[in-house]
Amino acid sequence: MRLFAPLIALLSSFAFALQPLAAQSILRDAETEALLNEMAAPLVEAAELEPGNVDIVLINDRSINAFVAGGQVVYVHAGLIEAAETANEVQGVIAHELGHITGGHVLRSQDAIAQASSISILSLLLGVGAALAGGGEAAMGAIMAGQRAALGKFLAFSRAQESATDLAGAKYLSRAGLSGRGSLAFFERLLNREIRYGRSQADDATYTRTHPLNSDRIATLRNVYENDPAWNAPDDPDLQERFERVRAKLYGYLALPERTLNRYPVSDQSAAGRYARAYAFHKEALVEEALAETDALLNDEPNNPYFLELKGQVLLESGDPVSALTPLRRATDLSRNQPLIASMFGHALIATEDQANYPEAERVLRAAVALDRFNPFAWYQLGVVYAAKGDLPRARLASAEQQVMRRNYFEALRSAQAAEAGLEQGTPDWIRAQDISLHARSEIERLRDRR
C-alpha cells in the first residue's frame, strides 16, 4: 500500500488543482479587476466566448501561476502580475488560459485522472493476486509498473493539452490583433528563472512533466508568432501605464514595506512609484507620508476614483472615518457606484457611529450588493446597519449571504431560516432566504454523502 499511496496523492493533487479556491483566497480590487477585464476583452471575443460570461479572478498568491478550474473563469495569481513586465505578457497568459476553456480541458482532465486511477487500481489488484500466490517480488513489480503507466498516461495527456492550448492562445492573440512578443518574453523569463535556480531542462525527464519544456514551447511559438501579421503590432501605451500602476499597487499591498521602498524609492516620482509607497507607508502606520503620496497622485489626476479610494482607505483605516467620507463619496460617484468602492464608503459611513449616516449607508450598500452579490464585506456592513435599526430578520439574511459565500453552510442554514421566519412571506427578501436555505441544505447533504 505504501507504493500505491504516492500515485494516489499525486493524482489527488491534480484533482485538487481543478478545485483550488477552497484553500486559496481571492484578492479583490476595483482598479485591478477593471484592468484585467479590459485586457481580456478582445481575447474573449477572439475566442468566440460571451464577454459577460468570462471572469478574470485575482488570487492572493505571489507564486507565478494562472489556471482554469471549471466554468468560464481564469484565475491569475498576484505573483504573475508582479513577474510580468508588460500588459501584453499578461494578455498572452490569458489567451493561453482561454484555450483551456474552449478546449474543455478541465472536464477532460477529470476523465484522464479517472482513467489513470483505474490503471493503478488494476495494477494493485494484480499485485495483490501475485502476492497471494507467493510472488512477493512479482507483486511489487506489478504495482510499480501500473503506477508508472498510470502516471505516464496522465502526464502525456497533460503535455498534449498544454501544447494545443499554446497554439489556441496564439490564434486568439492573432485574431485580437495583439502581438505574441509578450507571450514569448514571458516564456523566456520563466526559462531563465529555471536556469537561475539550477533546474536543468536537459536533465529533467520529459516523462515527469505536466507541461512541455519551456525551450520547446518557445521554439514552436516563435515560429508561429514571428510569421503572424500582428507580430509588429505596437503595445497600447495607456494600457501599459495602467498595468504598471496596478502592478506597483499590488506590490505595495503584498510585499514588506522595506522591500516596496527599495523597489520604488522616493526618487521614483511616477504614479506607479507613489502608488506603491502610499501602501508601504500606510502599512507602517505612517499616515502623513501615505497621505502625502495620495495627495500628489490626486494633484495630477483629481478625478481618478482609484486615487480617491486610496485616500479614503488611508483615512478610514487610520481612525478618521469622518474625513474619509469626502474622498470615498466622490470615488463612489465617479466610478458609478462601483461595488467595492461603494462598500468601503458604506463602511466609512457606519464607522462614524453617527446614526444620521446610517440611511445613506443602507442605500449605498444595498446598491453595492445589487451589482455584486459576491461581496461578503458589503453584506456584513449591511447586516450591521439592519441590526442597528432593529431589523433583525434582514440582519440575519445578510449574515446568511456572507456565510454561504464562505461555505459555512450550517451557519448559513440557521441564519436563513431565522430570517425567513421573520420576513413577510412572498417578499423578495423572504424568497432569497428560502433560496439560501435550499442551497445550504443541499450542500450539507452533498458533504455528508461524500464522507
pLDDT per position as a tens digit, 119-178: 444 444 444 444 444 444 544 454 455 445 444 444 444 445 677 888 899 999 999 999
The CA–CA distances, whole Å, from 437 to 365, 378, 428, 440, 441 equal 23, 20, 14, 5, 6
Task: Kindly tell me if the per-residue pLDDT of 394 is higher than 70.
Answer: yes
Query: In 3-state terms, what secondary structure has residue 414?
Result: helix
**Three cell numbers at 279?**
501602501
Check: CB of residue 69 under 8 Å from CB of residue 24: no
CA 132 vs. chain centroid, Å, equals: 50
With a cut of 80, say whether residue 275 has pLDDT above it: yes
Q: Which three cell numbers stand for residue 89?
A: 505578457
> What cell does 394 get?
434582514
| SS3 label, residue 118 | helix
For the record, the C-alpha cell of 68 comes out as 482554469
- Supply the pLDDT for residue 198: 57
- Residue 28: the pLDDT is 94
C-alpha cell at 348: 466609512
Q: What is the distance, to the nearest Å, from the Cα of residue 377 to the centroid of all Cα atoms in its chain?
A: 17
End-to-end CA distance of the chain: 22
Q: What is the pLDDT of residue 238?
A: 96
Tell me 26's DSSP state: B
Q: Band of the pLDDT at 211, cuts 50, 70, 90?
A: very low
Q: How many CB atoms lie within 10 A of CB 185?
A: 17
> Could you give the CA distance from residue 136 to residue 134 in angstroms, rounded to a whole number?
6
**What pTM was estimated for this model as a whole?**
0.80
Instruction: Give the residue carrying C-alpha cell 493503478.
Output: 120
**pLDDT at residue 106 is higher than 70:** no
Scanning 208-318, the segments in alpha helix (DSSP H) are 214-226, 237-254, 257-263, 271-283, 287-300, 305-317
Q: Calculate ∠ Cα 277-282-287, nearest 5°.
A: 110
220 band by pLDDT with thresholds 50, 70 and 90: confident
Give me the pLDDT at residue 216, please: 73
Query: How many Å is the Cα radius of gyration of the chain?
Result: 26
* pLDDT for residue 99 is more than 60: yes
Q: What angle do CA 355, 361, 367 make, to 5 degrees?
A: 160
Instruction: Please give the single-letter amino acid code of residue 160.
Output: A
Distance CA 39, CA 239 (A): 8
Minimum mean pLDDT among 192-201, 295-304, 402-411: which range? 192-201
Q: In the predicted model, is pLDDT for residue 114 greater than 80?
A: no
Predicted confidence band of residue 375 (pLDDT cuts 50, 70, 90): very high
Per-residue confidence (pLDDT) for residue 123, from 0 to 100 = 44
Q: What pLDDT does residue 110 have?
A: 47
Secondary-structure percent of the chain, ordered helix, strand, coil, rounded to 5? 75, 5, 25
Residue 166 is predicted with a pLDDT of 87
Neighbouring C-beta atoms of residue 141, cutoff 10 Å: 15
pLDDT at residue 16 above 60? no
User: By percentage, how much of the chain surpasses pLDDT 70?
Assistant: 77
Helix or strand holding residue 55 (H, E): strand 55-59
| Mean pLDDT across 343-350 | 98
Spatial distance between the Cα atoms of 19 and 21, rounded to a whole number of angstroms: 6
User: Band of the pLDDT at 197, cuts 50, 70, 90?
Assistant: low
At residue 132, the pLDDT reads: 45
Distance CA(412)–CA(93), nearest Å, equals: 37
Give the pLDDT mean for 98-118: 59
pLDDT at 112: 40
pLDDT score of 96: 92
For 342, the 3-state DSSP assignment is helix
Q: How high is the pLDDT of residue 5?
A: 38
**Phi first, then psi: what are they for 58, rounded to 5°?**
-95, 130
CATH architecture, range 321-390:
Alpha Horseshoe (1.25)
Parts of the chain belonging to CATH 1.25.40: 321-390
Q: Read off the pLDDT band of 450 (50, 70, 90).
A: confident
Residues 6+ apart with CB under 8 A from 369: 339, 375, 378, 379, 382, 401
∠ CA 379-385-391 to the nearest 5 degrees?
Answer: 100
In single-letter form, the type of residue at position 62 comes to: R
pLDDT, average across residues 22-40: 89
Out of 125-134, 196-205, 279-288, 301-310, least confident range: 125-134
